[in-house]
Amino acid sequence: MKGRKGAVVAINPSTGEIIAMVSLPDYDPSSEALEEEWKNLAESEDYALLPRATQGLYAPGSTFKILTSAAAYENHLEDTVLEDTGGFEKDGIKVANYNDKVYGEMDLKQSFKVSSNQMFCELAYNMGGDVILEMAERFGINKEIKFDLKTEKSRIEYDKMYNMDAAMVGIGQGKLLVTPLQMAMVGATVANDGIMMKPYLVDSVERANGTVISETQIKSLGKVLDYDTAEFLKELMVGSVEAGTSVRASIRGIQVAGKTGTAENETNKTHSWFVGFAPAERAEICVAVILEYDGTTGGSTAAPIGGNVMKKYLETVGKN
């Protein structure tokens, strides 16, 4: 992370085991250090006491296009072709592509690679608020995550979602906030053929003599997507790493799937996101990375961190 504010969550898609979880800035939790530094920690504008990985709430930006793509596939819109003119404008909403880029005629796969805001606003607008909300809630948004640590609930904060709201949520903006843990679970669900696993930190608890007091039972939270939908999303995410915005998450000799995000917020500095997993066809690790108020793009900063975490983990597993 090189001193950046933010979080990383790494999870085993097939079991829900948390491989690594980091929140920065951090602090020394020893009683002596807390007593000495409490006033500074409590008053700091860095919010070091906030466990960002589980309780930080952020607009997910284009990482949410994973969910919009899932809804599009289920509604038989995967072959939709659009003339990308550089932005979306309807019902008083105006959204430009990143750097006002104009891509011309594109299908969904090409749009996912370049992360066209126009395409995904159009898709979400046409599908409507009910469809986008239903997909989000299937992935756990608006629901509590039962976990070993306290978590904040990811949420969509509309009393009713209209088409214009769906257009914004479809690109990860609007009244939508998620935790890094939530987005790691989104990626892990796609990697695990559409089945979401309950995340856990503690494998087992033992006495000093080795007697096992308790063991965590691996548990499925249910089938979020059918196999074909999950495979379609994997294909999109592999394309993003091989020839799209996520290319800096690539690992030599290993097929990686991923999606970047660059999320606007209340400041003029964007959040940078990456969600991805590897190896793509039988994932051993899924990673979510957010760089808070980083002012960069997910492809330039968050994707390399995600790729590096996955690479180091797979090297370690290989050595064992």
Q: Are strands 176-177 and 257-263 parallel, antiparallel or unpaired?
A: unpaired
3-class DSSP assignment, residue 229: helix
Could you identify the residue written with the tokens 């290993």? 254
Taking residue 281's Cβ as centre, other Cβ atoms within 10 Å add up to 11
Burial profile 179-198: b = 16 or more Cβ within 10 angstroms, e = fewer: bbbbbbbbbbbbbbbbbbbb
C-alpha span between 273 and 283 (Å, rounded): 20
Q: Is the dihedral of CA 28, 34, 40, 41 positive or negative?
A: positive
Is residue 62 annotated as part of the catalytic site, yes or no? yes
C-alpha span between 125 and 103 (Å, rounded): 20
Active-site option among 14, 44, 62, 240: 62
Long-range contacts of the stretch 209-213 (C-beta < 8 A, 24+):
none
41: exposed, middle or buried (Cβ count in 10 Å: 0-12, 13-18, 19+): middle
Burial profile 57-95: b = 16 or more Cβ within 10 angstroms, e = fewer: bbbbbbbbbbbbbbbbbbeeebebebebeebbeeeeeeb
C-alpha span between 310 and 242 (Å, rounded): 16
Cα-to-chain-centroid distance, residue 111: 18
Closest CA to 156 of 181, 180, 130, 118: 130
| Structure tokens, 180 | 């890094």
Q: Residue 282 in contact with residue 292, Cβ under 8 Å? A: no
* Residues forming the active site: 62
